[in-house]
Amino acid sequence: MSGLSAKNATSRYRSGRAMLWLWLLFVLPAVAPAESPRFYEAPALNGDGVFSLLRRYGLDRHSCNHEQFYKLNNLKRNAPLIVGRYYKLPIAIYTFNGRTIRSTIGIDDYDLALRIQHYNEAMHRAGLREHDFREDKQLWVPWHLLHCPEPDIPSPATPAGSQGEVTSMGPRAGTDDKSASASAVRGRIFPIFGPGYQYVPLQDNRLRGKVFYVVSGHGGPDPGALGKRAGHTLCEDEYAYDVALRLVRMLVAHGATAYMITRDKNDGIRDERLLECDTDEVIWGDLTIHRGQKARLFQRSDVINQLYERHRRQGVTDQLTIVIHVDSRSKKERTDLFFYYHPDSEESKRVAQVLHRTMARKYRRYRANGQYHGTVTARDLHMLREVRTPAVYIELANIRNAWDQRRIVLTENREALAKWLYEGLLGMYGH
C-alpha cells in the first residue's frame, strides 16, 4: 500500500471518529458514570473446574469470586466447564491512567491500591499476563479485593490443623511420583506472604527435592538490635523477617520446600521502607517465643530438627538452614553483608563461601566502585551448631550505621538481597 492511500484512509477514519464523539456529547448525560469495567476472559484448560480455573488466578479462596464467576457467565452452580471455551473471570479491567491506581478506579484506600498493585505484579510474574500494568495500561482488579477481601474458603494447601506449611510439594517431598506434581498445582497459596504475595506460581522445578529452613533472628518479645533513622526505631527482627520471607517465596516459586521458622501471621511481605516493630511473632507450630535466650534458640533448633527428621525419612538428602540477622556495631562502622559457618562443618563452610562469592559478583556489577568487603568466618553459634542440617548465618548490615541502613530500609534492596541469596543457593546446587 502506498503512503498516500494510507493517509487518506486514516483521515477518513479520523473524521468518522470525530462525528462519533460529537454524537456522544449530546447523548451522554452531563456527568459520565464511572467507567464500567470489562472482565478478563480466560479459557478453561483440560481438567479445569471452576475451582481450578479461579485458583490459577489466585481467586479461589473468596466466595464472592465464585458467585461473581457464575453470574458473569450465566452458569449454574457446579456447572462443568468446556475445555477451550473462554470464561469471564471476576477480574475487572480498568484502563490505567498512568498516575495512580487510586485515581484510576476511584478509591482512596492506599493499602487497597497496594494490594491491587501486588496482585497485578504477581499475575505478571506468573506469566498470566504478558505485560506490566504500567506498560499496557490494563489494570486488573480482582473482585474480592473490593467485595470480600478476607479469604473464607480454606486453601487446599492448608488442611485443617496445619498452619500453612510453606512447601510446594506437600508431604511427598523428594519423591518422583505423579501426586507430587498434582499437589504442586493445588498448593500455590501461602498466606504467610500476605494478601498481595500469597499466590506463588511455580516458575520451575530447579529446587525440587530440596528443603530449606529459613530463620529470621529474634522476634516475639525480642526485637533484636535497634537502630534509629529519621526519628524512627528500626527493629532488627522486622527487617530480617522481610528479607527471609522474600527469600522463602523465591525458593517456593522454584519448587523447593521452604519453611519460615519465625512467623508473623499478619505481616506478610511489606513494601514500606520503615517496618513497624511488633511482638506477635511465633515459631513454626504456633509456639510462643520464649523469653530466655537459651530456651528461645533451642525452641528453633528443636523445631528444625523435628522437620529435618521427617524429611530425612522421606528420603530427602538436601536440607539447609539459613539464619538471617542484622548486626549491631558502632554507628560509624560500615559493614557489608557477611557470613558465619560452623567450624566443624565442611558443608556449612561451602554454603557460606558459595553465597559469599555470589554477593561479591553482584556487588562488582551493581555497586559504583564494585567493591565488597563482606567476610566469611567460622563461629560456634547455637543455630549453626545445634541444627542437624548444614547451616549458614547471615548478617545483612550494621543496623546503627546510616549507610548500611539503606540496605535494609529500601524495599528494592531487601528484594535484591533475597534474590542474590536465592541465586547463590541455585548456584550451589549446580544450576
Which residues of this chain interact with Zn ion, rule CB under 5 A?
217, 224, 325
User: For cell 469471564, what's the residue?
Assistant: 88
Q: Minimum Å distance from CB 399 to Zn ion?
A: 9
Helices 411-428 and 402-409 cross at an angle (nearest 10°) of: 70
Q: How many CA atoms lie within 13 A of 307 on its CB side?
A: 31
Which cell goes with 142? 480482582
CB closer to Zn ion, 53 vs 376: 376
Q: Minimum Å distance from CB 225 to Zn ion?
A: 6
Q: Minimum Å distance from CB 235 to Zn ion?
A: 10
Q: Which helix (H) or strand (E) holds 193?
A: none
CB closer to Zn ion, 202 vs 289: 289
Q: Minimum Å distance from CB 224 to Zn ion?
A: 4
Cα R_g (the chain), whole angstroms: 25
Q: Minimum Å distance from CB 393 to Zn ion?
A: 10
What are the E-state strand segments in 110-252? Answer: 138-142, 210-216, 226-229, 232-235
CA distance 383 to 391: 8
CB closer to Zn ion, 58 vs 227: 227
Contacts of 169 (CB under 8 A, 6+ apart): 180, 183, 184, 208, 209, 255, 257
CA geometry: angle 191, 159, 70, nearest 5 deg: 75
Q: Minimum Å distance from CB 126 to Zn ion?
A: 34
CA distance 168 to 53: 19
Q: How many CA atoms lie within 13 A of 221 on its CB side?
A: 8
Q: Minimum Å distance from CB 262 to Zn ion?
A: 11
User: For cell 567493591, what's the residue?
Assistant: 371
CB closer to Zn ion, 211 vs 304: 304
If one counts every other C-beta atom within 10 angstroms of the C-beta of residue 7, the result is 10
CB closer to Zn ion, 81 vs 391: 391
Q: Minimum Å distance from CB 415 to Zn ion?
A: 21
For residues 70-105, one letter each, b for 16 or more C-beta atoms within 10 angstroms of the residue's C-beta and e for the rest, the string is: eeebeeeeeeebeeeeebbbbbbbbebeeeebbebb
Q: Minimum Å distance from CB 327 to Zn ion?
A: 7
Which residue sits closest to Zn ion, CB atoms considered? Answer: 325
CB closer to Zn ion, 188 vs 342: 342
CA distances from 77 to 18, 123, 183, 365 (A): 45, 26, 25, 55
CB closer to Zn ion, 44 vs 225: 225
CB closer to Zn ion, 115 vs 325: 325
CB closer to Zn ion, 194 vs 217: 217
3 state SS of 394: strand
CA distance 389 to 386: 9
